[in-house]
């Protein structure tokens, strides 16, 4: 009890340096809860935060989510039961706008005085961790969800590499999403090995195995897909880096060998730097055997409509969709790239292929489509593997344990205030001293 009171007093001391607060923020000035601020660049990344924010809140943290304005920001905050602040941050390199965003982030952190910050995605990772360092946030975490520089060359790659190193330098912990991403970060010299951490077997959220489970689905009926047809699925942004051009080329080859096959694309044309060109988009939208759903909030029923999931990606942190497919007992074909290689047990839960080869995609998919027993065996093994290593309660439990340990470190390193107990008796925050 004494240590709890002392910890609360130390957090008040930390926040006492706060300048005059706005009315909206002043209501939390004396909040005894430890405060963690989670920052991302685009509200789209909120899709990767489901469950994570709620878990931190239920563990006793006050949680504030910061991202560029967007409907998903508000929806996520409401669903997770946390605060949200819209702060514009551009995804691409924009020097003037980036300086403005940096100042705004610093200003916000000066006023909120969180105990811990967690920034992720390239731009928010750089600007957020730098602003947190300048604002004197006691513990700064850079959540490394992937490396955009892996698909860049020349000057842009060097700029992105410098930005990643700067973000890591401003952080106390660089939390990597997968083992191969951790190794890649170390090979690139982003941070010393002691700073690069991974929780369990990787993943930032894990998988809700009850939601993503085998069972009936009305998706085939909804889109006019015959029950007897073989359906190849893809879930995610429809972009170059996700391997859509190679997937479309491979699908045409698959159709020649298996004419009763369909391609179900559960995703949207993302307006990012790796966006598909007009010709590629037209090829998808006009293809007679391709069904494109657009953005889908709940993808679980769509996995149940698939026979095989294909993710021909060029780069990942740790692809959630692969784990979700495996939990639904769907075999997976994905690439040997950073991140994606960690999401499959080769020849057990799916097949790994090199990125950029349509022939490898078609060959792997045809192997699975023509061997239903193998598909069922891989599906059963995939669900068992996910339940054992990536169940959401396990992954999120490790996450909250990490942040509690970081908070405890703040408590240990902060000045020890005296706490009044009454009758003139005062003790130090550490009752063992």
The reply to whether 209 falls in a domain is no
Give the total number of structural domains in the chain: 2
* Average pLDDT value for residue range 336-353: 97
The radius of gyration of the chain's CA atoms, rounded to the nearest angstrom, is 23
Q: Is 315 helix (H, G, I), strand (E, B) or coil?
A: coil
Spatial separation of the C-alpha atoms in residues 390 and 184, rounded to whole Å: 22
Q: What are the b/e assignments for 86-104, b being 16+ CB within 10 Å?
A: ebebbbeeeeeebeebbeb
Same-domain pairing of 55 and 128? yes
Q: Is residue 229 part of a domain?
A: yes
Q: Are residues 234 and 380 in the same domain?
A: yes
Q: Is the pLDDT of residue 119 over 70?
A: yes
pLDDT of residue 271: 84
> What pLDDT is recorded for position 32?
80
Is residue 211, in this structure, part of any structural domain at all?
A: no
- Provide the 8-state DSSP code for 215: -
Whether residue 302 sits in one domain with residue 263: yes
User: Residue 347: pLDDT above 50?
Assistant: yes
Neighbours of 305 (CB within 10 A): 24
3-state secondary structure of 118: strand
**Is 212 a member of any domain?**
no
Would the pLDDT of 421 be above 70? no
Residue 322 included in any domain: yes
DSSP alpha helix (H) spans, 81-139: 95-112, 122-134
433 domain residue, yes or no:
no
pLDDT at 29: 53
DSSP 8-state code for residue 149: G
Whether residue 29 sits in one domain with residue 178 = yes
Q: How far apart are CA 278 and CA 267, in angstroms?
A: 17
Q: What does the pLDDT read at residue 9?
A: 47
Residue 194 within any structural domain of the chain: yes
Token readout for 250 is: 């491979």
Q: How far apart are CA 165 and CA 174, in angstroms?
A: 11
Say what percent of the chain tops pLDDT 90.
80
Asked if residue 312 and residue 246 are part of one domain, the reply reads yes
Can you tell me the mean pLDDT for 218-245?
96
Is-contact 233 305, C-beta < 8 A?
A: yes
Q: Cα separations (Å) of 308 from 119, 234, 412?
A: 34, 9, 51
Contact criterion met (CB below 8 Å) for 188 and 161: yes
- Starting at the edge strand found earlier in the chain, the sheet holding 83-86 runs 83-86, 62-67, 35-39, 116-120, 139-144, 173-176, 196-198
* Structural tokens at position 390: 């990536």
Q: Which residue has the tokens 């996450």?
A: 399
Tens-digit pLDDT profile for residues 7-54 = 554 454 444 443 333 334 444 455 689 999 999 998 888 888 989 999
170 and 36 within one domain = yes
Q: Are residues 177 and 273 in the same domain?
A: no
Using DSSP's 3-state secondary structure scheme, residue 411 falls into: helix
User: Would you state the structure tokens that stand for residue 380, as one six-digit string?
Assistant: 């059963």
Cβ-based neighbours of 300, under 8 Å, separated by 6 or more? 211, 212, 213, 324, 328
Answer whether residue 26 is part of any domain: yes
What are residue 93's phi and psi, to 5 degrees?
-65, 120
Are residues 363 and 396 located together in one domain of the fold? Answer: no
Same domain assignment for residues 199 and 249: no
Task: Indicate whether 351 pLDDT > 70.
Answer: yes
The mean pLDDT of the chain is: 89
Whichever domain contains 307, its CATH number is 3.40.50.2000
> Do 94 and 179 fall into the same domain?
yes
Write the DSSP string, 336-361: SSTTGGGG--BTTTEEEE-TT-HHHH
- 364 vs 26: which has the higher pLDDT: 364
Inter-residue contact 312 to 247 (CB < 8 Å): yes
- How many whole angstroms separate alpha carbon 135 and alpha carbon 108? 9
Range of the domain at 291: 219-389
Measured CA to CA in angstroms, residue 273 lies from 153, 370, 407 at distances of: 14, 37, 37
**CA-closest candidate to residue 276, choices 217, 234, 332:** 234
> For residue 427, what pLDDT is reported?
39
CA pair distance 389, 95, nearest whole angstrom? 42
> What's the maximum distance between 2 C-alpha atoms anywhere in the chain?
87
Average pLDDT over residues 270-278: 90
| 169 and 302 inside one domain | no
Higher pLDDT, 249 or 16: 249
In this structure, the answer to whether residues 379 and 402 fall within a common structural domain is no
For the chain, percent of residues with pLDDT exceeding 70: 88
């Amino acid at each position: 009890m004494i240590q709890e009171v002392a910890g609360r007093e130390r957090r008040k001391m930390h926040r006492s340096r706060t300048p005059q607060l706005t009315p909206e923020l002043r209501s939390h000035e004396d909040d005894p809860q430890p405060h963690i601020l989670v920052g991302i660049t685009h509200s789209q990344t909120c899709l990767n935060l489901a469950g994570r924010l709620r878990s931190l809140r239920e563990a006793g943290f006050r949680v504030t989510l910061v991202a560029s304005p967007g409907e998903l920001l508000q929806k996520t905050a409401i669903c997770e039961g946390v605060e949200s602040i819209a702060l514009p941050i551009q995804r691409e390199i924009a020097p003037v706008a980036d300086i403005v965003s940096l100042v705004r982030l610093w200003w916000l952190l000066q006023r909120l005085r969180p105990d811990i910050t967690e920034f992720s995605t390239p731009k928010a990772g750089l600007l957020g961790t730098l602003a947190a360092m300048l604002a004197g946030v006691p513990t700064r975490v850079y959540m490394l969800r992937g490396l955009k520089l892996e698909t860049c060359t020349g000057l842009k790659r060097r700029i992105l590499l410098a930005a990643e190193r700067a973000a890591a330098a401003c952080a106390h912990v660089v939390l990597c999403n997968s083992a191969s991403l951790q190794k890649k970060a170390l090979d690139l010299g982003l941070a010393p090995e002691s700073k690069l951490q991974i929780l369990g077997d990787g993943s930032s959220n894990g998988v809700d195995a009850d939601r993503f489970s085998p069972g009936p689905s009305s998706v085939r009926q909804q889109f006019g897909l015959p029950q007897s047809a073989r359906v190849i699925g893809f879930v995610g942004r429809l972009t170059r880096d996700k391997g859509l051009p190679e997937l479309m080329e491979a699908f045409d080859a698959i159709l020649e060998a298996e004419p009763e096959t369909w391609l179900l694309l559960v995703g949207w044309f993302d307006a990012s730097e790796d966006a598909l060109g007009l010709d590629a988009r037209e090829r998808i939208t006009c293809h007679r055997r391709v069904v494109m759903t657009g953005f889908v909030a709940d993808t679980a029923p769509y996995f149940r409509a698939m026979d095989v999931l294909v993710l021909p990606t060029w780069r990942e942190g740790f692809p959630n969709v692969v784990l979700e497919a495996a939990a639904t007992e769907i075999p997976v074909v994905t690439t040997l790239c950073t991140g994606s290689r960690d999401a499959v047990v080769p020849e057990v839960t799916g097949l790994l292929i090199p990125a950029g080869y349509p022939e490898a995609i078609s060959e792997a998919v045809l192997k699975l489509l023509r061997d239903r027993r193998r598909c069922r065996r891989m599906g059963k093994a995939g669900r068992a593997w996910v339940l054992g290593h990536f169940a959401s309660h396990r992954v999120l439990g490790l996450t909250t344990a990490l942040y509690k340990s970081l908070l405890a470190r703040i408590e240990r390193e902060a000045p020890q205030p005296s706490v009044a107990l009454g009758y003139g008796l005062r003790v130090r925050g550490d009752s063992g001293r």
